[in-house]
Structure 1
């Protein structure tokens, strides 16, 4: 009970609270305004501690594969990025089964740097038999700072074109890695979903297969370059991103792109992220199974 009112069940937190968080997380609202808006829900009986625990990340919840897992080996590797910030660094995770070559997957974080959730996604891919590489866009300014608020502020100040070029350089580094079979996949979330769409469009043939989770498309003039197969993952309640899909789909069809789109019922933006209350276990597991199968089909053939 808070302020002599019974806090309402987490399942009944209104969608507008998630919309406020989405606006805050993407630069449309400052933290003070976000917290003030949450305060209006406290006034009608919600617990602030419940609201923040649901909306803000808890990365202790996001570890599905331990970095000590015997089936994988993780390290940090640097790469050259002459058209970007000069040097980049990422989290490289490979299986320990000693094959000569592997399918490789670039993992792209949200708009706040390489946080623990995204590193765990890379480990999940390695556990499934892929070499995964997750670059940190914040490396030129010291790397992910340990919390999303500071990471978001840091990434917002970076030069967007240089960041994009860093990810292009990371993709080329991974595609030509000694362990690579030459077929590159990409999976990204939110900003990372945009980057996967961008990598598919900026240079024909760079990506073999891309899986953008709730990411907006590259600029319209670039889309004619897309030759990779795409699996687009969208949440039904994600109005901000979903409004860009109809035009994007028209361009994919017009250019003969091999694509699939899955819309996940009642899923919010960020539904795959298991460190927040936006996580939708059933939809996230289905989307991940589809992602792995898509990469198996396109990168192992």
Structure 2
């Protein structure tokens, strides 16, 4: 079973980050029929940031916007496919390449080296500003800035929580298996558990009960912080899913959890006035 308007099949590695390794047979490809889907650039902090955008074709009314925040692997084919899936649901979905100043994630063949030599060097403050510019760009290119959401996966899941505490114009957020606690560094001075009291948008957290990289006690700590802050948030833990359970191109994919999570995300956006 796969999301609407998609097919799952054996797929070549073209368009996927080399650090991903072998693709799973469950890899989903979403077509661009009735969509406008293309690479673009966004001017941010004096630089031209690459991005991928997908939206329904032929619609004149401003569209609800979803900022799609990349996994550790960058804006590779899976993230572009997620943008197309959202566009099929009537959104203007845009995924900015948030590492672009520090380097190219497709230059790395393994995850530890990718993280150490590239991802760990990307400051949260830079990411927040680049997402602000992305939201502004989308509002000037067919999107409705009053109906702005964000979703992020893995590395981007953590960023989605932080962005919900950063941009007061945000209507809703969905964070997929993003880390909630961690060491404080110059590039990552705080984590979602510290930002819980500052959330200005409702956040849906989607996590796997078998995720060894995000222990249950850290999820419990986040729930306590959210409750103490009176924040509008919900964390769903899928007991049979591990990390990256929505990543259909990897062995970690857990279809029942991924499908339910996707539906919950769309309902969350509807509930809080994004669409």
TM above 0.5, yes or no, is yes
Q: How does 1:289-300 map to 2 (within 5 A)?
A: 289-300=263-274
Structure 1 match to 2:206: 233
The 5-angstrom pairing of residues 108-123 of structure 1 reads 108-123=69-84
Q: How far apart, in 1, do the equivalents of 2:122 and 2:274 lie?
A: 36
Could you tell me which of 9, 16, 27 is aligned with 1:62?
27
TM-score (norm 1): 0.72
Q: What stretches of structure 1 of length at least 5 have no aligned partner?
A: 1-30, 32-54
Whole-angstrom distance in 1 between the partners of 2:143 and 2:192: 32
Q: Using a 3 Å threshold, how does the CA distance of structure 1 residues 232 and 160 change in structure 2: closer, same or farther?
A: closer
Structure 1 residue ranges, 4+ long, deviating more than 6 angstroms after superposition: none
Structure having the larger proportion of residues in strand: 2
Cα 1:219/1:98, change in 2 over 3 Å: closer
Q: Give the equivalent residue in structure 1 for 2:143.
A: 179
Greater helix share, 1 or 2?
Answer: 1
Task: Classify 1:59/1:93 alpha carbon distance in 2 versus 1 (closer, same or farther; 3 Å).
Answer: farther
Alignment of 1:1-301 (within 5 A): 56-58=21-23, 61-66=26-31, 69-82=32-45, 86-141=47-102, 143-145=104-106, 149=110, 152=115, 153-175=117-139, 177-203=141-167, 205-217=168-180, 218-241=191-214, 242-300=216-274
TM-score by length of 2: 0.78
- Whole-Å separation in 2 of the counterparts to 1:181 and 1:95: 17
- Measured in 2, the distance between the counterparts of 1:181 and 1:171 equals 7
Larger Rg: 1
Which residue of structure 1 lines up, in the alignment, with residue 4 of structure 2?
none
Alignment partners' CA distance in 1, 2:252 and 2:266 = 22
Equivalent-residue separation in structure 2 for 1:259 and 1:160 (angstroms): 22
Note closer, same or farther for the CA distance 1:77–1:251 as it changes in structure 2 (3 Å cut). same
* Counterpart-to-counterpart distance in 2, 1:148 and 1:258: 39
Distance 1:285 1:98 in 2: 27
Shift in alpha-carbon separation, 1:178–1:221, aligned structure 2, 3 A: same
Q: Is the 8 A contact 2:49 2:100 kept in 1?
A: yes
Alpha-carbon separation, structure 1, partners of 2:160 and 2:22: 23
Contact kept, 8 Å, 2:204 with 2:234, in 1: the verdict is yes
Query: Matches of 1:284 and 1:133 in 2, distance apart?
Result: 20
Name the structure, 1 or 2, with higher relative contact order (CA <8 Å, separation 6+). 2
CA distance in structure 2 between the partners assigned to 1:107 and 1:98 by the alignment: 21
The alpha carbon displacement at 1:159 in A equals 4.2
Shift of 1:282: 1.2
CA drift at 1:227: 1.7
Paired residues of 1:200 and 1:206 also in contact (CA < 8 A): no
CA shift digits 1:164-216 (9 cap, x unpaired): 4323432343356442252111111111000100101124x132110000112
